[in-house]
Amino acid sequence: MSASNPGCQTQLLANVFILVGPGGVQSDLHIVDMECYNTFGNIWGLYLGRQAYLLLTDTEIIHKVFVEDNGKIFASAKTHRSKCPVSESFFQPDNDDWRRIHQILAPAFGPTQLRQKCGSYLQYLLDHEETKMEKGKKSLPTSATLTEDEVVAQAVGFLLRAYQMATHTLEFVAYLLARHPSVQHQLQQEVHTAIKQQGFTYENIAGMEYLDMVVMETLRLFPPVVWLQRTCQKLVEVCDLKISRGIQVTVPVWVMHHSREFWDHPCRFDPLRFTREERDLRDPVCYLPFGLGAFSCIGSEFSVMMVKVALASILTRYRFTWCSQTPMYLDIETLGVTRSKIPITLQIELL
Ligand code: HEM
């Protein structure tokens, strides 16, 4: 790996021991990333075992690797396969399988489909199962079908992923609303007015602008996934930066979401960052809770809708407030899905 990007302060192969300490791999990945970013600038590298990682916050390179390349040289990093059907879910397949599965599943998450229930997604999977295989004979799936294992994996993976992600996000929103009563008040007014006029419908929830802004800002402050990765498949030069085969090109999402380079007062909870006008002014690469490009999340709209429905229904009857056990600051763990290290206790008041 070599780098000669003139505009970037470049220092590759930072000390790996900050990530792998005596107690194992650090769970505070976001803190390590922030420290590296503050020390080395917008490109740095590290090894985990023999695997080299190139970390980038340079928006131009990120755009080229994650969006323009479209998965040709920089493949999905999830290449490990196992016999377990669950681990053969969408989160694990190799590059060729990924293309086939992605093509089949992406339409299931369009806005029309989101109006329907989870059960219709399961039916959708079953409709695409390879049924023409002769009993006992193992044949390769066609480009339009899924194997039985893949159907099981997608169904289980979908439910686990959807609930896990939605639960953590809801926990953070509730905490932020309790801490920011004026935001909660404004949100409650929007929810009350909309529900009173049009009831609890998909269109109604989807049309609540402030609710959307609150959820987006929560996902900025607490992105559920803090590393986006692509595997470089051959030596290539991107913006004067030579990247060798096998390197894991990584975007430290927490840094992108908390850098002063991209956000004013980045630690402040401010849903107004997500007005239509503000969004249009910003480079989309700065905000990546669902990744970007060819391998970005296909469940994003579904999960966001799930969080919004839950939140809107709670806020019609209750408000979140602080109590003596509510932590003043959150201690966050970011290895795996981002979550609080201790349970977040809040008080819920009936309106
Ligand atoms: C708050 C909820 C969620 C968040 C924040 C989230 C975030 C992400 C992120 C960051 C990625 C990696 C994207 C990249 O590398 O560019 C991803 C991939 C993916 N997500 Fe989600 N996700 C969520 C919920 C879901 C749900 C409910 C599903 C259900 C099917 C899902 C399905 C997927 C799939 C299939 C991929 C892999 C896409 C591919 O490799 O082409 N996600 N998600």
Q: What is the CATH number of the domain that holds 80?
A: 1.10.630.10
Task: Give tens-digit pLDDT for 61-106.
Answer: 999 999 999 999 999 886 434 344 444 455 555 566 666 666 666 6
pLDDT band of residue 163 (cuts 50, 70, 90) is: confident
Task: Give tens-digit pLDDT for 252-302.
Answer: 999 999 999 999 999 999 999 999 999 999 999 999 999 999 999 988 988
What tokens were used for 322?
């602080």
pLDDT band of residue 133 (cuts 50, 70, 90) is: very low
| The predicted structure's pLDDT at residue 85 | 42
Task: Give tens-digit pLDDT for 195-243.
Answer: 998 888 989 999 999 999 999 999 999 999 999 999 999 999 999 999 9
What tokens were used for 299?
């469940």
CA of 214 to the centre of ligand 1 (A): 20
φ, ψ of residue 252 in degrees (nearest 5) = -80, 95
DSSP 146: B
Helix (H, G, I), strand (E, B) or coil at 222: coil
| Residue to probe by mutation, ligand 1, list 109, 125, 172, 297, most atoms within 8 Å of CB | 297
Mean pLDDT score of the chain:
83
Domain total in the chain = 1
Q: Whose CA is nearest to atom 4 of ligand 1?
A: 290
Of the listed ranges 142-146, 233-237, 246-250, the one predicted with least confidence: 142-146
| The predicted structure's pLDDT at residue 56 | 96
Alpha helices per DSSP H over the chain: 29-40, 59-62, 95-105, 111-114, 118-127, 148-179, 181-198, 202-206, 209-221, 253-258, 276-281, 300-315
Tell me the residue range of the domain where 324 lies.
2-350
Q: Whose CA is nearest to atom 6 of ligand 1?
A: 290
Q: Which of 322, 317, 318, 313 is nearest to 211 (CA)?
A: 313
Q: Which of 228, 39, 254 is nearest to 263 (CA)?
A: 254
Pocket of ligand 1 (CB under 6 A): 76, 90-91, 98, 102, 158, 161-162, 165, 169, 224-225, 228, 289-292, 295-300, 302-303
Which atom of ligand 1 is closest in space to residue 169's alpha carbon? 1
What's the full length of the chain, in residues? Answer: 351
pTM (2 d.p.): 0.83
CA of 99 to the centre of ligand 1 (A): 15
